[in-house]
Amino acid sequence: MEQLIMGAIAAGSMFAGLFFFRFWHQTRDRFFLFFAGSFWLEALNRIALTVVDHANEQEPLFYVVRLISYGLILAAIWQKNRGKR
C-alpha cells in the first residue's frame, strides 16, 4: 500500500512539474523553471524511496534531496522578488 501512495505522490509531482514547465515554456520566466525542477526532484526522491530496498525517509540522503528541492522554491521566490526593486 505504501508503494502505491508513493507512486501516486511521484506521479502528482511529475504532473505538477510538467504544469510549471509548460508555463516556463510560454513565458521564459525562471520562476516557473525552478518550480518545475523542484517538483521533478521531489518525484525522483519518492521514486527512489520506493525502488531502493529498505529505504527510510529519515536517511540523510533523502533529506538532502528534499533540502535542494525546497531550496529551489526559495531561490525562485527570492529571485522573483529581487527583480521588483
16-63 pLDDT, tens digit each: 999 999 999 999 999 999 999 999 999 999 999 999 888 777 788 889
- Cβ distance 43 to 10 under 8 Å? yes
Residue 21: CA atoms inside 13 Å, Cβ hemisphere, count?
Answer: 11
Q: What is the pLDDT of residue 85?
A: 58
What average pLDDT does range 4-16 have in this prediction?
96
DSSP codes joined into one string, 13-61: HHHHHHHHHHHHHHH--HHHHHHHHHHHHHHHHHHHHHHSTT--TTSHH
The pTM of this model reads 0.88
Which uninterrupted H or E stretch holds 83?
A: none
